[in-house]
Amino acid sequence: MEVSYERLQRQIRFVLEIDKMKSVYRKNILVDKSRNETDAEHSWHMAVCAMLLAEYAPEGTDISHALRLCVCHDLIEVYAGDTFAFDAAANVGKLEREKKAADELFAILPDDQRAEFRAYWDEFEEGKTKESLFANAMDRFQPFMLNLSTGGHTWKLCDATRAMVEKRLHPVKVAMPSIWPFIEEELDRYEERGYIAHNPKE
Amino acid sequence: MEVSYERLQRQIRFVLEIDKMKSVYRKNILVDKSRNETDAEHSWHMAVCAMLLAEYAPEGTDISHALRLCVCHDLIEVYAGDTFAFDAAANVGKLEREKKAADELFAILPDDQRAEFRAYWDEFEEGKTKESLFANAMDRFQPFMLNLSTGGHTWKLCDATRAMVEKRLHPVKVAMPSIWPFIEEELDRYEERGYIAHNPKE
């Protein structure tokens, strides 16, 4: 096989650039509460969740493809940073910021791979395919697990109400309706304990 | 779909248990040198490398399967810990320690998934299939990239000689012979700079 050094160098530059995913810290903390979680760790944990929870995915979901989306969905945050979901102000202009980051990051790659990796990100963001619906569900289920183990760490940061948390978990309800009753029960328990605020009275 | 709560609870217990992969620190440091890398981050980085470098894999490699091996190959380290490759003493009894950890960890899962996840680990360790050869190559290529970016951080920790580094990189030579000349050139450069020790004279 003839290897193009110019091509290999671009691939290697990309490998090194995305190392920054290990320095993008999320609002979630680890189960042992020792520190905040990084984007790289979150993406990895989502990938294992996708393998573990495959049986609850929409029928006909290509789990291997969903796995690729899990691994790649946050890459653009090496330039755009992590945006806290419950911070409305921080979310203004998020999509534009992330598109710019995607243009810049994927341009490092050879053309064919630029298109491939960009397509993973676009597919995840659009959330129209079964695979992207399932990957989006993992993106919400994984931090939900961390919240259950840390006294609702990110919920408390923003005094999240039950409605806010349910809205955030909506992709889980869509992609894995069979386990939604379990989620509801856990939320009931957390709301009772005061880790999630009651919805304001109408 | 009928969901077994007992089954789901075991899956969730596993999801939470493997969060410890974010607290198993490796000898490698990040490209920005801010801290040591975690097992979760290493596994994620390997998975992206497998997607990026697929074209150099042995012909007929199922990259999606290799991706699963990358994601799962270090899970048992939540109990067994990371063993520094260049520390001969620490490697005594490693396999036994890791087998015990595998028995314990995968027992959390429902039987079918216990067998599935155990099989990923066994396949990776045995290194007989194309997918496991390629995943093993990623397991060596990814820290090699970090070493190139950090002045040979782990090589210097143990005064690694050229022969030691080449032995460690052997799976890369086996699975991706087409890019081996590039690796050799980089090693030449690092040996010249003194980041890798010359082999002792015969």
A40 contacts in chain B (CB < 8 Å): 40-41, 44-45
Select the residue from B11, B13, B15 to test the A interface by mutation, using most A Cβ atoms within 10 A.
B15
Residue B148, min C-alpha distance to chain A (Å): 10
Q: Closest approach of chain A CAs to the CA of B93, in angstroms?
A: 28
CATH number, residue A177: 1.10.3210.10
A169 domain-assigned: yes
pLDDT surpasses 70 at A166: yes
DSSP lists the bridge partners of residue B84 as none
Q: Do B11 and A67 touch (CB under 8 A)?
A: no
Note whether residue A94 is domain-resident: yes
Task: Classify each residue of A134-151 as buried b or exposed e, where b means 16 or more C-beta atoms within 10 Å of its C-beta.
Answer: bbbbbbbbbbbbbbbbbe
Q: Which residues of chain B have pLDDT under 50?
A: none
Cβ separation of B44 and A48 shorter than 8 Å? no
Indicate whether B201 belongs to any domain.
Answer: no
State the CB neighbour count (10 A cutoff) for residue A156. Answer: 15
What tokens does B193 get? 């700079």
Q: What is the pLDDT of residues A113-138, one digit of tens each?
A: 999 999 999 999 999 999 999 999 99
pLDDT in the model for residue B42? 98
Check: CB of residue B71 under 8 Å from CB of residue A16: no
A chain contacts of residue B8, beta-carbon cutoff 8 Å: 179, 182
Distance CA A47, CA B174 (A): 27
Mind telling me how many Å the CA of A202 is from chain B's nearest CA? Answer: 34
Domain count, chain B: 1
Number of H helices, E strands in chain B: 11, 2
Q: How do beta strands A36-38 and A25-29 pair?
A: antiparallel
Contacts of B181 in chain A (CB under 8 A): 3
Domain presence at residue B19: yes
Q: How far apart are the C-alpha atoms of B98 and A84, rounded to whole Å?
A: 38
| Domain region containing B45 | 5-192
pLDDT tens track for A24-59: 999 999 999 999 999 999 999 999 999 999 999 999
C-beta separation of A103 from A157 below 8 A: no
- On chain A, the residues whose CB falls within 8 A of the CB of B146 are 19
Residues of A in contact with B6 (CB under 8 A): none
Query: Is A16 close to B149, i.e. CB distance below 8 A?
Result: yes
Q: Is residue A198 part of a domain?
A: no
DSSP for B69-102, written as a single string? HHHHTTTTHHHH----TT-TTTTTTHHHHHHHHH
**Domain-embedded: residue A201:** no
Give the tens place of pLDDT for each residue, B96-115: 999 999 999 999 999 999 99
Buried b (16+ CB within 10 A) or exposed e, A79-102: bbebbebbeeeeeeeeeebbeebb
ipTM greater than 0.85: yes
Nearest CA in chain B to A53: B11
User: How many CB pairs (< 8 A) connect A and B?
Assistant: 142
Q: What is the pLDDT of residue B88?
A: 87
Cβ–Cβ < 8 Å for B195, B152: yes
